[in-house]
Amino acid sequence: MSRFVLALLVGLPLVFVASAQDFKKEEKKDFDSPKKTPGAGSKGTVPAGIPGDCEVYFLNGSKVRLVLQSEKLEVATAYGRLSVPVKDIRAIEFGLHYPDGLEAKIEAAIKNLGNTAYGEREKADKALLEMAPYSYPAVIDAAQSGDSEVSKRAKDLVQRIRSKHPKKDLKLSVDDRVVTQNFTIVGRILTTTVKAKTEYFGEQELNVAKMRSLRAMGAASLDTELAIDSSKYASRDQWLDTGYYSDGRTTITIAATGLIDVWPQQGGGFMSGPAGLQHMRNGGGPGNPLKGGRKLGAVINPQAHCGMLIAKVGEDGEYFLVGDRYEGIPEGEGKLYLTIGPSQWNAQCVGSFEVKIARKVD
């Protein structure tokens, strides 16, 4: 018996060492192995490609395809600093980054909106308009000023800036959203410039402050198939993160099929397709599909939208109807989210819709 105990004690460290080594190998394998496309029920996988091969959209409206040569981006988050490998990045929605010295100029111009000298106020107006869209958040804040002169000028500037610049260029947040293969990182990119190589311009040092968005070629717009469960998502404020990134420029199609029961207590008498219960009652269905695209604002009404498949781009995007099929360019940039209009009888729905999301290739 004593020999058995002794052998066991001698062998235990070896077991722990082997287990630790196996754990490290498994941990590294999990990190480096191909991942499925994010989003519940997603069936796609991220295809292999050239690390860093992407399209960058700049604030001036231009687009350049390039290969990022910087290996990592440093991102400050609420939970610490992260080093994100470029090869894992699928897309980036850039927050507001000021070019060197511009933030101080904007602050000075905002102060001069209330200058006692009329000429200085006019100069501030002109300067803030010229520094847009970078000046937009500061002008928005100034519009709430208790100084009537400052508030009046700032409100006028808000309208002029909005008429001059597309909505997608008017950023209010300084947070960057870095979409990786596994999850989205919200924070502040600390890397001010990135190294890149382009086909026509060779090696370049690009300023992050001038970028609007970045999309990895192929991976950021991977075709996706998923199921959306009505028992979970036909509820108020419940949105399914599809993992699909919409760049606001590419035409996509969303095709949905299936039936859900929006009032199960009635024995199947209230079945709805993706176009909603009202459409089904009005003769809609496979032979009479409803095309999506209609904007719904920011409110879902169970009486009008019961059973409808609804989408938005980005967490704060405007809602729009998907119905049986949507084809178009969604407004805004970011992840595509889906929900189902709740039961107008406040019942828990049963069933799911099958959804296919794809980039339309001309």
Rounded Cα gap, residues 82 and 107, in angstroms: 30
Q: What is the DSSP secondary structure assignment for residue 336, as one 8-state letter?
A: E
119 pLDDT band (50/70/90 cuts)? Answer: very high
| The CATH fold of domain 223-359 | Jelly Rolls (2.60.120)
Contact present, 177 and 184 (Cβ < 8 Å): yes
Cα 129 from Cα 135, distance rounded (Å): 8
- pLDDT value of residue 75: 96
Query: Cα(32)–Cα(30) distance, rounded to whole angstroms?
Result: 6
List, in order, residues 6 or more apart from 256 with CB less than 8 Å away: 274, 309, 322, 323, 324, 325, 353, 354, 355, 356
**pLDDT > 90? residue 45:** no
**CA dihedral over 76, 82, 85, 91, signed as positive or negative:** negative
With 50 as the cut, is the pLDDT of residue 21 above it? no
Which of residues 166 and 197 earns the better pLDDT score?
197
Return the minimum-mean-pLDDT range out of 24-33, 79-88, 144-153, 225-234: 24-33
Q: What is the pLDDT of residue 27?
A: 38
Instruction: Return the DSSP state at 30.
Output: H
**Domain 102-169 falls in which CATH fold?**
Leucine-rich Repeat Variant (1.25.10)
Would you say residue 219 has pLDDT above 90? no
C-alpha span between 36 and 34 (Å, rounded):
7
Q: How much is the pLDDT for 166?
A: 82
**pLDDT interval class at 222 (50, 70, 90):** low
**Distances in Å between the alpha carbon of 146 and those of 125, 150, 152, 271?**
18, 8, 10, 55
Distance CA 340, CA 190 (A): 38
**What's the rounded Cα separation, in Å, for the pair 327 and 315?**
21
Q: Which two tokens stand for residue 314?
A: 């980005």
Question: Is the confidence at residue 31, as pLDDT, over 50?
Answer: no
Domain spans, the chain? 53-97+174-219, 102-169, 223-359
Token readout for 209 is 């402050």
pLDDT confidence tier of residue 41, bands split at 50, 70 and 90: very low
pLDDT over 80 at 268, yes or no: yes
Q: Residue 81 pairs with which residues in a beta bridge?
A: 76
CA distances, 113 to each of 130, 158, 217, 239, 352 (Å): 15, 13, 44, 42, 55
| pTM of structure | 0.50
pLDDT (tens digit, 9 = 90+) per residue, 271-307?
999 999 999 888 877 778 888 999 998 899 999 999 9
- The Cα 268–Cα 270 span in angstroms is 6
Other Cβ atoms within 10 Å of 256 Cβ, number = 24
- Distance from C-alpha of 274 to C-alpha of 352, rounded to nearest angstrom: 9
Asked whether residue 199 carries a pLDDT value surpassing 60, the answer given is: yes
In contact, 330 and 248? CB cutoff 8 Å = yes
Residue 106 pLDDT greater than 50, yes or no: yes
Q: In terms of DSSP bridges, do strands 63-68 and 53-58 run parallel, antiparallel, or are they unpaired? A: antiparallel
Burial track 37-73 (b if 16+ CB lie within 10 A, e otherwise):
bbbebbebebeeeebbebbbbebeeeebebbbeeeeb
Residue type, 347: A
- Tokens 């610490």 -> residue: 80
CA 218 to CA 222: how far, in whole Å?
6
pLDDT band at 93 (very low <50, low <70, confident <90, very high): confident
